[in-house]
Structure 1
Amino acid sequence: MNVDTDPGATYMPTILAFRGRLGRLRLLVYTVLPMFAVFILLALLVFLRGRAPVATVAMARLLPLLWLVLVIVTTLRRLDDMNYARWWGLLMLVPPVNVLVWFYLLFVAGSETANERGPAPAPNTVMVKLGVVLVVPLLLGSVWPAYMLYSFYPFMR
């Protein structure tokens, strides 16, 4: 995508777009909130498994794949923001490396002005900031109990 606009131009990113740059907070919100939505839907499918077993199994396999596609697309868009080649996104398919790549994409800033992949994303909206306010407690709420169980495990014997 070649950019013939001025360096100060911006655009408003959306979650379902395949092109365009994506900032750090949007990466966090666009990947983590759908992940928790998939978890909730999978938990609901457990309760419905007796009523429609074929549909339940199909949905249980389809939902995580849809989330994986969303993660890969948002990763590619974040790489566009950092002006890196999109093929680096293949690292998201390597299990031990994908966590490191995601944290790198989350904490390293992208280009502040327009680059060869498009104009800079617009400043974060109130909804994105509210999404971050939701994501941080969800992540801490899911990680903290596991850490506490791990740290107190020797004393539980």
Structure 2
Amino acid sequence: MTDFPAAPAGAVQVPRPFDLHGRIGRVRYLAYSFGAMIVLLLAAIVLGALLGAIGAGPAVAAGLMQVLVGTLMAAANLVIARRRLHDMGKSGWWGVLLLVPLLNIVVTLWLALGKGDEGPNAFGPPPSPNSRAVIALACIGPALFVGMVVYSAVDAYKTFGERTRSANSRVF
């Protein structure tokens, strides 16, 4: 077993979102992933405004934003996943599976739902307890995602219904 330096009495070490070492639990994994997505979305909006201001064409601006934001999101996701994998007692190299299309969905669900090791493991002491802010951010992310999926499904159903009614009105 690996010995870890003892924290001072009464001190709680709060992990930083993009540390490369240490462990994070399921709640922090969701919160950090959602937080990174929000930050990168805001960066994309600012970048789009800047590219529009300097006169870059829409296709060039969209391409640059897609490459930059996609690369940064993949890097952030790999860093966060590495720490979550460490909590589960696995090597951070398993995070490379997040780069494989379709398999990344299964791996993300595994990281979000899988149980971490209780007590210390080879990658460090157990994660510190979650703050209320972390718990709130972890709840808001999936709720917004489900809301967007439901909204898209309802909108698609409405559009389909309108097209069907207009097509049927022309037949009769």
The whole-number CA distance in structure 1 between the counterparts of 2:82 and 2:22 is 9
Pairwise CA distance, 1:36: 2.8
| TM-score, normalised by the number of residues in structure 2 | 0.75
Amino acid of the structure 2 residue aligned with 1:38: L
Question: Could you say which residue in structure 2 is the equivalent of 1:135?
Answer: 141
Greater shift in the superposed pair: 94-103 or 35-44:
35-44
Q: SS of the residue aligned with 1:72?
A: helix
Report what 1:83 is aligned to. Answer: 89
Following TM superposition, the consecutive aligned residue runs of length 4 or more in structure 1 with deviations greater than 4 angstroms are 56-59, 150-154
Q: Does structure 1 residue 68 correspond to structure 2 residue 74?
A: yes
Number of equivalent positions:
153
Tell me if structure 2 keeps the 8 A contact 1:11–1:120.
no
Tell me by how many angstroms 1:64 deviates.
Answer: 2.8
What whole-Å deviation, never above 9, does each CA across 1:4-36 have from its counterpart, x for those lacking one? 149xxx843210201111110111011122213
TM-fit CA distance, 1:58? 8.8
1:43 maps to 45
- Structure 1 residues 120 and 106, CA gap change in structure 2 (3 angstroms): same
Separation (CA, whole Å) in 1 of partners of 2:43 and 2:64? 9
Alpha-carbon offset, residue 37 of structure 1: 2.9
Normalising by structure 1, report the TM-score.
0.81
Q: How does 1:6-155 map to 2 (within 5 A)?
A: 11-52=13-54, 53=56, 60=65, 61-151=67-157, 154-155=160-161
Shift of 1:62: 2.4
Alpha-carbon distance, 1:82 to partner: 0.3
> Cα distance, 1:154 vs. partner?
4.8
SS across alignment from 2:53 = coil
1:95 aligned counterpart, secondary structure: coil
Percentage of pairs with the same residue: 28
CA shift in 2, pair 1:98/1:86, >3 Å = same
Alpha-carbon deviation of 1:74?
0.8
Name stretches of at least 5 consecutive residues in structure 1 with no aligned partner: none
Aligned partners of 2:30 and 2:138 also within 8 Å: yes
Q: Where do 5+ consecutive residues of structure 2 fail to align?
A: 6-11, 165-172
Amino acid aligned to 2:131: T
Over aligned residue pairs, what C-alpha RMSD do you find? Answer: 2.7
Q: Are the counterparts in 2 of residues 22 and 78 from structure 1 also a CA contact under 8 Å?
A: yes
Q: Greater CA radius of gyration, 1 or 2?
A: 2
CA distance in 2, matches of 1:149, 1:83: 43
Any conservation in 1 of the 2:34–2:137 contact (CA below 8 Å)?
Answer: no
